[in-house]
Amino acid sequence: MAAATGGGRGGKGPVTDSGYAVKRFYGPRRGAGGRGEEPGRYPFTRGIHPGMYRDRLWTMRQYSGFGDAAQTNERFKFMLEKGQTGLSMAFDLPTQIGHDPDAPQAEGEVGKVGVSISSLDDMAAAFDGIPLGKVSSSMTINATASTLLAYYIAVGQAQGYGGERLRGTTQNDILKEYIARNTYIYPPRPSMRIIGDMVGYCSRHVPLWYPISISGYHMREAGSTATQEVAFTLANAVAYIQACLDQGLRIDDFAPRLSFFFCCTMEFFEEVAKFRTARRVYASMLKERFGAKKQRSLQLRFHTQTSGESLTAQQPDNNVVRVAVQSMAAVLGGTQSLHTNSRDEALALPTEESARIALRTQQVVAHESGITKAADPMGGSHYLESLCDEMEAGVRSYLRRIDRMGGSIRAIERGFFQSEIRKNAYRLKKEADAGERVIVGVNRFAEEREGRPKLLRVGAAVESRQRRAVRGTRRRRDGRGAEAALSALTSAAESDGNLMPPILEAAKARATTGEISNALREVFGEYRPREVF
């Protein structure tokens, strides 16, 4: 039976199943200790909105994309039909690192870990029948984020929606690529220029877009602690903010369009504390360090994805339970949007059935658990508040150390982040191998014979289709127009003008993802990391 809600969200207010009225938030009882903060007020420990999910649920944004654009379009429509409230687009490795599907570097990888998008034609096919002015889209793309955003803007314009009507997010966090994920193209400093150009362009022309989602997720998946995840993410935020300020942007003009992306894994109370701590530290940093005045500038808005690293290939149905636990922690921590991983992701890309179960997990938490009835219902827990205070001290200590090194870019070049993450990852692995860290179905409660679920496989035919498609795009387009647009882009990269307008013109001229990336490679070169031991 669904939880009783009395008058519902628009009525007299929610009640429990037994009929007890639920207040908007709960503070310390008379004579009790604890913080007297309210949700929606600085420093936003308890949430960025006064009513949180009483007023509006988080966006249910399931990460989708595989094969070619037509297959991804079909999955998008399936998930929207099942109740998903926002789109989240995954790209294959060639698209992420700026190679076309017929490039030698793309062999064997086309469409495998996400959708292959090699031109404006592919982006148009991926969103065929989906009005971009009426849906919010997130794109998990970094080194080529400017190109993919240009495609998206051009598709929106072709559908009749100007940039002012487009809503969504590009991940576009290149610093964490150097730290933990490695899908970079250019060296850090020109990469930071591109990001600054995107922020500036979006603030003027695509005002509802979040041009960057500063990400701790991949650092956590690589082995960082929760404290390191927050500290390193906020240190990177400092670098991005400073890059925008150096371009002449004003803090309150762009800070409200910065967003964040965090992991949620299995240590339930620590994960809830992590989100609350991140909001608190960020708010004070924006106010005291950067002089932000607008309330929205001080609010840390974030997307959460449950932990892929915590999922197991053994007994994959156990992953449904893990994801449910993690999704509740994310909601109790106050996330603005959420992706719940599918049970089979330790084995393959999710099937439709698995993706539906993952979405239903969010819907059960939202509509049946009752935890959305009060803002920050765990606030005041002695254990939780103590964790927040300890984590805040740890985060601030790391931020001071990184400042003394000269900031994130210098810390990355010295290998500091990478070394810290590697040491903790080694500790976790030793504990699991020794059985000190229990992983159900793996090092305890294992079974000799296990069935495997039906898996989704992306066949070699996708690569052949995409090679033919990109060659067809090159044949059909105005070749001279494309060459002129690419030449103009290279010239812009050699100057100090904003790169987004020439990238958009190249996209409209049907220049491919690889060609646009190569035009910038001519000027910026490619990044080659030094070995860190």
Question: In the chain, pLDDT over 70 holds for what percent of residues?
Answer: 96
Query: Does the residue 278 lie in any domain?
Result: yes
Structural domain contains residue 331? yes
pLDDT bin (cut points 50, 70, 90) of residue 7 is very low
Task: Specify the residue for token string 């982040």.
Answer: 417
Q: How confident is the model at residue 32 (pLDDT cuts 50, 70, 90)?
A: very low
Q: Which of 109, 186, 202 is nearest to 153 (CA)?
A: 202
What tens digit of pLDDT does each residue of 85-128 get?
889 899 999 999 999 999 999 999 999 999 999 999 999 999 99
Which of the two residues, 406 and 9, has the higher pLDDT score?
406
Q: Could you report the per-residue pLDDT of 356-372, keeping only the tens digit for each?
A: 999 999 999 999 999 99
The encoded tokens of residue 246 equal 């150096």
Helix ranges restricted to H, 442-478? 460-476
Cβ(61)–Cβ(86) under 8 Å?
Answer: yes
| 124 domain residue, yes or no | yes
Residue 188 structure tokens: 């850090």
Q: Which residue in the block uniquely carries the two structure tokens 């990852």?
A: 425
Would you place residue 38 in the very low, low, confident or very high pLDDT band (cuts 50, 70, 90)? very high
Answer whether residue 493 is part of any domain. Answer: no
Q: What is the pTM of this model?
A: 0.90
Confidence (pLDDT) at 35: 57
Q: How far apart are the C-alpha atoms of 528 and 533, rounded to whole Å?
A: 16
What's residue 62's pLDDT?
A: 82
Does residue 477 have a pLDDT over 90? yes
Domain span holding position 369? 59-433
The domain that holds 390 is classified in CATH as 3.20.20.240
- What's the number of domains the chain is made of? 1
Specify the pLDDT at position 173: 96
For residue 465, is it within any domain? no
Identify which of 242, 173, 244, 248 has the alpha carbon closest to the alpha carbon of residue 403.
242
pLDDT at 247: 86
Task: Please check the confidence at residue 8 and state whether its pLDDT lies above 90.
Answer: no
Tell me the C-alpha to C-alpha distance, in Å, between residue 249 and each of 146, 196, 256, 403.
Answer: 19, 9, 13, 22
**Residue 488: inside a domain, yes or no?**
no
Q: Quickly state the pLDDT bin for 27 (edges 50, 70, 90).
A: confident
Helix (H, G, I), strand (E, B) or coil at 213: strand
pLDDT per residue as tens digits for the range 264-287? 999 999 999 999 999 999 999 999
Residue with tokens 């190249």: 506
Domain-located, residue 115: yes
Q: Is 109 among the domain residues?
A: yes
